[in-house]
Amino acid sequence: MDLVLPDFGLLFWTGLVFCSLLFLLAKFAWKPILGAVNAREQKIADSLELAEKTKQEMQTLKAENDALLKQARIERDKMLNEARIQADKFVEEAKAKAKEEAQKIVNSAKESIENEKAAAMSELKTHVGAISLEIAEKLLQSELSSDGKQKALIEKFVDNISMN
Amino acid sequence: MYGSIAAIGAGLAVLGAGIGIGQIGGKAVEGIARNPEASGKITTAMLIAAALIEGVALFGVVIGLLGGAK
Amino acid sequence: MSVKMSSINLRRFLLLTCVFFFFNNAFSSSSSKEKEFNVGEMIMHHVKDAHEWHLWGPEHGGTSIYLPVILYDNGLKMFSSDNFYHGEESTTIDHKTHQSVNFYKGVGPAKGYALYHEKIYKLDNNNNLKIEEGHVHGNTKPFDVSITKNVVSLFIGALLLFLIMFSVARFYKKNGAVAPKGIAKFMEPLILFVRDDIAKENIKHNKHHKFLPYLTTVFFFIWINNLLGLIPIFPGGANLTGNITVTLFLALCTLFLTLIYSNKNYWTHIFATPGVPLVLLPIMIPIEIVGIFTKPFALMIRLFANITAGHIIILALISIIFINKSAYWGALSVPMALFISILELLVAALQAYLFAMLSALFIGAAVEEAHH
């Protein structure tokens, strides 16, 4: 029966020992142990986080680099393009200028040819006039040598004159 | 005489608890076999249930001790 | 690693076996000569508290450590229990059963007191004890706060636990937050087990920090005392965690913790259990109130009965030899006792785990916030 009856003396000692053990262990054992373990776990977690962060940073850095590279490439392409366009423009301009120049030369040549031609023509006309006059003179001299011939000619002229 | 009757009582209590804990153990093993990932949780639940049943059996044993000590 | 462990275990088993053999001899030399060997009495003598720590030799006249008796009876009285065990061996007649009962009368400073079944009584005017059906009737008990066998075991266990944990703490203090080595490496997983699998698992809302010192202390306290109880020779062998007083105290601690830290939600569940119709409440409320006390009560009984039962089984198995009065029975009883001892090693850890875990579960229920 007294196996299952509590004993006051033992209860007293158990309470005393257990409470002091709880106090001492809490102060001198659990606090430093759990503190150290928590600190270590925190450290590990922090390190992992840092590693993750670094990885992320590396990734963003790489992405940034890539973007930069890409932009540089685009810019280079743009510059090249521009240069090409510029060059094309230069060539085009030069071509146009050359064409214009050539046109001008051709034009002036044409003009001078025209002038020459006109001059030649007028000279030719004068010559032709003089020659025709001479011919007419000679012809008249030969033709109008007789009166009949003169009359026939006059008749012919009069026929040709239309009275309109 | 008291002692022997108490022993029969304790024996009966242990019998019931034995069947109960046997059931728990068997079902827990079945559960673990079906879902091995949950073995940790099943084990904890099994221990709690076994402890509760065992508590009842131990009441019987203590009563047996009380009778036996007379 | 596992090979090393198993070799250590093997050595431990061999040592245990040797110890059992040694005890067999000690018992057989003492009991066969004198009176009939009473198994029940021997076992009860072992599992109960005592004012001496019997080491070896016959029960009367063997080698014992006599522990101090401290009484508060018209002032503090302190003397060695030697004054009882080597005092006057007396006999009285049981008033009901009319059988003769043996007890000790104290001598010297213990004069006027009697020791009967390891309890101290004041002698009556006739300088005698009045016993009815094996129980003392009429004699008053002085206020007894003696250093008994269990108290010494308690001191040893607490000191051992403190030294172990203090050296673990010193490791961390010296080395900072590094990977553990030596004893810290052994203890840290256990402490983390209590923290993660017992406290954190059962006490929700991150409230477990407050209860962690109690839970770790209770876990290791029970475990180390269970293990000490399994050692058959001096520093161990006391049935401390199998003593109802100790388990009562531990269960009371858990009860008070649940009551002190219980919140509104906990009491709502007791006085107005959600989902229970109003008509049923008069039945539910008493059940729930009784439930508050049966939970720690079951904690108390579970630890007490498990450990005591373990001690009783081992002793009963060893007793087979003495009942049959032949050492050859040792071939049967020693392997069986050895097997139970190994089982008890498991039970020692399991009961510590269960006590801590169920305490955490009850505390967890008391501090749990309402969730919908």
Chain B nearest CA to A8, separation (Å): 20
Q: Is B62 on the interface with A (CB under 8 A)?
A: yes
| Whether C158 contacts A21, CB under 8 Å | yes
pLDDT at residue C147 is higher than 50: yes
Read off φ and ψ for residue A51, nearest 5 degrees.
Answer: -60, -45
Chain A contacts of C253, Cβ < 8 Å?
A: 18
Q: Is A8 on the interface with C (CB under 8 A)?
A: yes
Band of pLDDT at residue C19, cut at 50, 70 and 90: very low
Contact C134 B70 (CB under 8 A): yes
Sequence-separated (6 or more) residues with CB below 8 Å from residue A149: A143
Q: Residue range C152-159: average pLDDT? A: 94
Q: Is B2 on the interface with A (CB under 8 A)?
A: no
Residue C4 pLDDT: 44
Q: Would you give the DSSP letter of residue A5?
A: S
pLDDT digits (tens, 9 = 90+) for A50-63: 999 999 999 999 99
Q: Would you give the DSSP letter of residue A27?
A: I
Query: Residue A5's closest chain B neighbor by CA?
Result: B66
Nearest beta carbon to residue C301 from set B44, B55, B70: B55
Chain A nearest CA to C278, separation (Å): 40
A1 versus C96: which is more confidently predicted? C96
Give C172's Cβ-side CA count (13 Å radius).
23
Chain B contacts of A1, Cβ < 8 Å?
A: 66, 69-70
Q: Residue range C345-369: average pLDDT? A: 91
Residue C90 pLDDT: 85
Residue in A5, A10, A22 to test binding to C, most C beta-carbons within 10 Å = A10
3-state SS string for chain C:
CHHHHHHHHHHHHHHHHHHHHHHHHHHHHHHCCCCCCCHHHHHHHHHCCCCEEEEECCCCCCEEEECEEEEECCCEEEEECHHHHCCEEEEEECCCCCCEEEEEECCHHHCCEEEECCEEEECCCCCCCCEECCEECCCCCCEECCCCHHHHHHHHHHHHHHHHHHHHHHHHHHHCCCCCCCHHHHHHHHHHHHHHHHHHHHCCCCCHHHCHHHHHHHHHHHHHHHHHHHCCCCCCCCCCCCCHHHHHHHHHHHHHHHHHHCCHHHHHHHHCCCCCCHHHHHHHHHHHHHHHHHHHHHHHHHHHHHHHHHHHHHHHHHHHHHHHCCHHHHHHHHHHHHHHHHHHHHHHHHHHHHHHHHHHHHHHHHHCCCCC
Please, which residues bridge with residue C119 across strands? Answer: C116
Residue A20 pLDDT: 95
Contact C158 A9 (CB under 8 A): no
| Whether C58 contacts C26, CB under 8 Å | no
Give B24's Cβ-side CA count (13 Å radius).
19
pLDDT at residue C2 is higher than 50: no
Nearest beta carbon to residue B55 from set C134, C197, C298: C298
Sequence-separated (6 or more) residues with CB below 8 Å from residue C234: C53, C55, C65
Which among C11, C49, C43 has a CA at the least distance from the CA of C318?
Answer: C43
Contact C302 B68 (CB under 8 A): no
Residue C23 pLDDT: 46
Please, which residues bridge with residue C144 across strands? Answer: C71
CA distance C356 to C161: 16
Chain A contacts of C250, Cβ < 8 Å?
A: 18
**Structure token digits, residue A56:** 């992320």
Band of pLDDT at residue C309, cut at 50, 70 and 90: confident
Chain A nearest CA to B3, separation (Å): 12
Q: Return the number of CB contacts < 8 Å for A and B.
A: 9
Give the 3-state secondary structure of residue A144.
coil
Please give the CATH number for the structural domain made up of B2-68. Answer: 1.20.20.10
Residue in B1, B62, B70 to test binding to C, most C beta-carbons within 10 Å = B62
Nearest beta carbon to residue C145 from set A12, A25, A40: A12
Contact B58 C357 (CB under 8 A): no
Give C325's Cβ-side CA count (13 Å radius).
8
Kindly report the number of other CB atoms within 10 A of residue B18's CB atom: 13
pLDDT at residue C270 is higher than 60: yes
Residue C257 pLDDT: 94
Nearest beta carbon to residue C306 from set B44, B58, B70: B58
CA distance C354 to C336: 26
Strand order in the sheet with C68-72: C76-80, C68-72, C143-144
Residue C275 pLDDT: 80
| Whether C154 contacts C246, CB under 8 Å | yes
Residue A138 pLDDT: 81
pLDDT digits (tens, 9 = 90+) for C169-216: 998 888 877 788 888 889 999 999 999 989 998 888 888 889 999 999
How far, in Å, are A43, A47, A48, A61, C81 from residue A53 at the CA level? 15, 9, 8, 12, 70
Chain C contacts of A22, Cβ < 8 Å?
A: 213-214, 217
Assess: ipTM above 0.90: no
Chain C contacts of A15, Cβ < 8 Å?
A: 249
C263 versus C21: which is more confidently predicted? C263
Question: CB-based burial of residue C290 (10 Å sphere; 0-12 exposed, 13-18 middle, 19+ buried)?
Answer: exposed
- Chain C residues whose C-beta sits inside 8 Å of any chain B C-beta: 40, 44, 133-134, 197, 201, 298, 301-302, 304-306, 308-309, 350, 353-354, 357-358, 361
Kindly report the number of other CB atoms within 10 A of residue A50's CB atom: 10
Chain B nearest CA to C298, separation (Å): 6
How far, in Å, are A88, A95, A110, A114 from residue A100 at the CA level? 18, 8, 14, 20
Chain C contacts of B65, Cβ < 8 Å?
A: 308
CA distance C238 to C229: 5
pLDDT digits (tens, 9 = 90+) for C115-126: 888 888 888 888
Sequence-separated (6 or more) residues with CB below 8 Å from residue B33: none
Question: CB-based burial of residue C201 (10 Å sphere; 0-12 exposed, 13-18 middle, 19+ buried)?
Answer: middle
Place of tokens 């040709």: A160
Residue C372 pLDDT: 55
Q: Is A21 on the interface with C (CB under 8 A)?
A: yes
Residue C368 pLDDT: 86
Strand order in the sheet with C88-93: C88-93, C100-105, C113-116, C119-122
Chain B contacts of C350, Cβ < 8 Å?
A: 47
| Whether C42 contacts C34, CB under 8 Å | no
Radius of gyration of chain B (CA): 16
CA distance C156 to C164: 12
Residue B2 pLDDT: 55
Residues in chain B, pLDDT under 50: 1, 70
Residue in A1, A2, A5 to test binding to B, most B beta-carbons within 10 Å = A1
| Whether C263 contacts C367, CB under 8 Å | yes
3-state SS string for A73-112:
HHHHHHHHHHHHHHHHHHHHHHHHHHHHHHHHHHHHHHHH
What is the rounded (10 degree) CA torsion for C202, C207, C211, C215?
20
**Structure token digits, residue A99:** 């064409």
pLDDT digits (tens, 9 = 90+) for C31-85: 444 466 788 888 888 888 888 888 887 777 778 888 999 988 888 888 888 888 8
Q: What percent of chain C has pLDDT over 70?
A: 90
Please, which residues bridge with residue C114 across strands? Answer: C105, C121
Residue A164 pLDDT: 59
Chain C contacts of B43, Cβ < 8 Å?
A: none
Contact B47 C357 (CB under 8 A): yes
